[in-house]
Chain A
């Protein structure tokens, strides 16, 4: 049996430290363990501190992602043309 770090008294609940340890992987959709994923989302809804931590990191993630969206289209056009000319 896998140790999910689940709290025995509350089968669906996990400790804050487990949530913290898995938070980045959770936010990056890198957690393969569905039981753990569900337990973490449940915990984040109920635990104020962990929920806020998760929200902060999501906002940071979104802000970083927005940096990359500004691809200058000229470069993209040139590279796509380069690809066509390779053929």
Chain B
């Protein structure tokens, strides 16, 4: 809620969102229910992807994305809604990151959801979490962020390779190799812990 005011005007971003903040044209009135109806099912995915970008500020990022999407709704061509929303979100995150980082404002305790430092799990930690799911989660946190985000977008958010590629701004082939490597690393961690059979 806090972030919106500073960037109430719409940034010139890749999703052809170029107008500035002003009263909504009347033509939009009729489209309003349609906007909410179409966009609402996408909120969980927006939130998750936002978390992968910005941790504690994810909710603000989603709000900002919804606001921009609403203002640009009359320019949405009706196809690939999810990809369109994710593009707005990605560009918003990139712009916000450029403006704010490394000053992480406000509530320090909720800042990083996925601190990369958590990959330094001690042998004892590993021994204690001999539960499969817990180990997978820990292994995911240990991945470099490129691999982790690719894996999360596909496995948690259920994005297609193409959608994940759009979110990350890379070719589909890159998503595929990040997925393969990320998952293989997770598997290797599990094998080291004896939770699965070793490498073939």
Q: Which B residues are in CB contact (< 8 Å) with A82?
A: 63, 66
- A87/B36 contact (C-beta < 8 A), A75-B47, A76-B44, A76-B47 known: yes
Name which of A25, A64, A66, A68 has the most chain B CB atoms within 10 A of its CB.
A64
Q: Is the CB of B152 within 8 A of A78?
A: no
Of the listed stretches B14-22, B89-97, B154-162, chain A binds: B154-162
**Contacts A83-B39, A87-B36 known; A65 to B155 CB distance under 8 Å?**
yes
**Cross-chain contact B59 with A75 (CB below 8 angstroms):** yes
Chain A, interface residues (CB within 8 Å), range: 20 to 34
Interface presence of A34 (CB below 8 A): no
CA A35 – CA B62 in complex, angstroms? 41
Which residues of chain B are within 8 angstroms of A71 by Cβ–Cβ distance?
Answer: 44, 47-48
B136 touches A64 (CB 8 A): yes
With beta carbons under 8 angstroms apart, the residue of A24, A60, A65, A80 that contacts B176 is A24
Q: Does A1 contact B (CB under 8 A)?
A: no
Q: Mark A66-87, 1 if CB is under 8 A from B, else 0.
A: 1110010001101110111011
Which residues of B lie under 8 Å from residue A28 when comparing CB positions? 154, 161, 179
Can you give 18 contacting A-B residue pairs, CB < 8 Å?
A57-B183, A57-B187, A60-B183, A61-B155, A63-B137, A64-B156, A65-B156, A67-B152, A68-B156, A71-B48, A79-B47, A79-B66, A80-B43, A83-B39, A83-B40, A83-B66, A86-B35, A86-B36
- Asked if A10 is an interface residue, CB under 8 A from chain B, the answer is no
Whether A83 contacts B136 in the complex (CB less than 8 A), given A56-B197, A57-B183, A64-B151, comes out as no
- From B43, B47, B155, name the one whose CB has the most chain A CB atoms within 10 angstroms: B155
Task: Give every chain A residue within 8 A of B132 (Cβ-Cβ).
Answer: 59, 63
User: Which residues of B sit under 8 angstroms from A57, Cβ to Cβ?
Assistant: 183, 187
